[in-house]
Amino acid sequence: MKNKIAILGSTGSIGTQALEIVREQSDKLEVELLTGNSNADLLIEQALEFKPNHIVIADETKYAQVKHALANEDIKVFAGSKAIAEIMDITSADTVLTAMVGYSGLLPTIRAIKNRKRIALANKETLVVAGELITKLCEENGVSLIPVDSEHSAIFQCLVGEDLDSIDKIILTASGGPFRGKSREQLAEVTKAQALKHPNWNMGAKITIDSATLMNKGLEVIEAKWLFGLKPKQIEAVIHPQSIIHSMVEFNDGSIKAQMGLPDMKLPIHYAFFFPYRIPSDFKRMSFSEVSNLTFEQPDLHTFKNLALAYDAMDKGGNMACMLNAANEIAVDAFLKDKIKFLKIADINEACMSKVQFVKHPTLEDYIQTDKEAREVAKSLL
C-alpha cells in the first residue's frame, strides 16, 4: 500500500523537495494533505498536480483565490493557521512531514501526534520550544518521530541497531555559514544579501540567516537533546566547511560512526518517508576522488554567540529555549526587513533571555504565553 503523506509547509524549501520525491516515487507515495502559508499560486499548482483530499492556506486573505482556482477539483479547501492543526483530526495521512518554519509548527505537530500520525520532523523549533512535552506525547501515543534535519537524520542513521546507552557523545557538524572566520568587527556592517549566500545549502531565508548566525546549530543542539535523550555535555558542535560529513556518534568504546553524503536535503526526506527501509533513488552520488579535503574546527562562540546562548538555554531548561526561539524569530525577521544590523540579532536574543519570566516546569499554556511575551519583548528592543 502507498504511504499517504501530509506535508505541512509544502510551498517552502523542504516541502517542494518532498514533492519532488513523491513525484519520483509515485508508486509508493501519495499526497493526502498540503498546507502553505501565503504562496497561493504555488499551493494551487501543487494541488492541481498531486490531487490531495485537503489543502489549507494559512493566509485567510488568499482563501477565495485558492477556492476559486480549485472549484472544479474534488479537493476540500480550508484557511487559517488554526485549520492546519484542526485538519489533523480528519486527514487519513499515514505520515506527516512538518516542514513549517518556526513556532508555527508546534500546535499542528502536537495535534498530529495525538492522532497517532507518524512524524517526519523538519520543524526543529517544535522540539526546541517544547521538547519535554513532545517526547512525552510521542511515548504516550506510540508515535515514531523521524528527524529530517540533515544532522539529526545522520545521527539517527548512525544509531540504527545501536544501544543508546553506549553513546558517549554526538557531534553535530556545521558548515560555518557565509561568515566563517570573520570577526565581530567584520560582521558589523554585513548585508542581508551577503547573509543569504550560504556556501553549501539551498534553504529558505529564515534558516539561511540562522545558519549565518549559528543559531541554526544552536537550535539543532537543543533538538538533539530531546530526540536522542542526551545530556547537554554529550552534544558537541564542530565546524565542517565541506558539509560532507553530516554528523557523527562517538561510542563508549572509542569508535566513531559518521553519515556522509552530498549536501542535499532530499536524501534525509527520502530516508524519513521510507524508514526503516532504504529505497533506491537516483540522487547524485558522492565521489571520493572529488573530495580532496575534509576539515574541522571549533566554533567561535564569542563572534557567533547565538550558539553559546542555545547551550545556556539547554542547560537551564524550562521555558528558556522557548523564549530564545521566539526572540530569534522576531530578530531575524527584523534583519530581513533591514530594521536591525546583523549582530543585533544575538543581542536581542540574549536580552530576552533575561527579561522574560522563567518557568522551570512549563505546561503547553506556559509555552504559548512565553512565546507571546518573548515576541513582545523582542519587538520592544528593535
Q: How far is Cα 43 from Cα 84, in angstroms, rounded to an integer?
A: 14
Residue 201 pLDDT > 80:
no
CB-based contact 179:300 (threshold 8 Å):
no
First-residue to last-residue Cα distance in the chain: 52
Task: For residues 188 and 232, state if they share a domain.
Answer: yes
Task: For residues 28 and 66, state if they share a domain.
Answer: yes
Confidence at residue 207, expressed as pLDDT on a 0 to 100 scale: 87
Show the cell assigned to 289.
576522488
Residue 199: pLDDT band with limits 50, 70, 90: confident
Q: Give the residues across from 171 on adjacent strands.
A: 236, 248
Task: For residues 179 and 125, state if they share a domain.
Answer: no
Q: How far is Cα 255 from Cα 235, in angstroms, rounded to an integer?
A: 16
Confidence at residue 251, expressed as pLDDT on a 0 to 100 scale: 98
Task: For residues 240 and 292, state if they share a domain.
Answer: yes
Confidence at residue 101, expressed as pLDDT on a 0 to 100 scale: 82
Mean pLDDT within 344-372: 96
Q: Find the range with the poorest average confidence among 79-83, 285-289, 350-354.
A: 285-289
Residue 103 pLDDT > 90:
no
Structural domain contains residue 344: yes
Confidence at residue 221, expressed as pLDDT on a 0 to 100 scale: 96
Q: How many CA atoms lie within 13 A of 371 on its CB side?
A: 20
Q: How far is Cα 126 from Cα 222, in angstroms, rounded to an integer?
A: 11
Show the cell assigned to 363.
505546561
Does residue 116 come out as left (phi exceeding 0), alpha (psi in the -120 to 50 range) or beta? left
Cβ neighbours around 79 below 10 Å, total: 19
What is the layout of strands, in order, in the sheet containing 235-239?
235-239, 167-174, 245-251, 256-260
Give helix then strand counts, H and E, for the chain: 16, 11
Q: How far is Cα 334 from Cα 381, in angstroms, rounded to an integer?
A: 11
Question: In which domain, by residue range, is 96 found?
Answer: 3-147
Span 110-133, pLDDT tens digits:
999 999 999 999 988 899 999 999
Residue 292 pLDDT > 90:
no
Q: Which of 120, 147, 174 is the last residue of a domain?
A: 147
Task: For residues 11 and 138, state if they share a domain.
Answer: yes
256-260 and 245-251 strand pairing: antiparallel
Structural domain contains residue 259: yes
Span 243-256, pLDDT tens digits:
999 999 999 999 99
Q: Is 122 helix (H, G, I), strand (E, B) or coil?
A: coil
Show the cell assigned to 155.
545521527
Span 221-240, pLDDT tens digits:
999 999 999 999 999 999 99
Contacts of 369 (CB under 8 A, 6+ apart): none
Contacts of 263 (CB under 8 A, 6+ apart): 150, 175, 200, 201, 243, 244
Residue 310: pLDDT band with limits 50, 70, 90: very high
CA angle 263, 19, 130 (to 5 degrees): 70
CB-based contact 256:347 (threshold 8 Å):
no
Q: Domain of 355: which CATH number? A: 1.10.1740.10
Task: For residues 20 and 126, state if they share a domain.
Answer: yes
Q: Is 276 helix (H, G, I), strand (E, B) or coil?
A: coil
Task: For residues 62 and 40, state if they share a domain.
Answer: yes
Task: For residues 19 and 123, state if they share a domain.
Answer: yes
Residue 260: pLDDT band with limits 50, 70, 90: very high
54-57 and 76-79 strand pairing: parallel
Structural domain contains residue 272: no
Mean pLDDT within 164-186: 94
Confidence at residue 198, expressed as pLDDT on a 0 to 100 scale: 78
**In this structure, which amino acid lies at residue 256?**
I
Confidence at residue 209, expressed as pLDDT on a 0 to 100 scale: 94
Structural domain contains residue 280: no
Span 46-99, pLDDT tens digits:
999 999 999 999 999 999 999 999 999 999 999 999 999 999 999 999 999 999
Confidence at residue 291, expressed as pLDDT on a 0 to 100 scale: 87
Q: Which of 147, 182, 216 is the last residue of a domain?
A: 147
Structural domain contains residue 200: yes
Q: How far is Cα 72 from Cα 58, in angstroms, rounded to an integer?
A: 21
Task: For residues 93 and 185, state if they share a domain.
Answer: no
Confidence at residue 244, expressed as pLDDT on a 0 to 100 scale: 95
Confidence at residue 320, expressed as pLDDT on a 0 to 100 scale: 97
Residue 104: pLDDT band with limits 50, 70, 90: confident
Task: For residues 73 and 125, state if they share a domain.
Answer: yes
Q: Domain of 23: which CATH number? A: 3.40.50.720
pTM: 0.92
Residue 202 pLDDT > 80:
no
Q: Give the H or E element holding residue 35.
A: strand 29-36
Residue 154 pLDDT > 90:
yes
Residue 343: pLDDT band with limits 50, 70, 90: very high
* Helix-strand-coil split of the chain, %, nearest 5: 50, 15, 35
Tell me how many domains the chain contains: 3
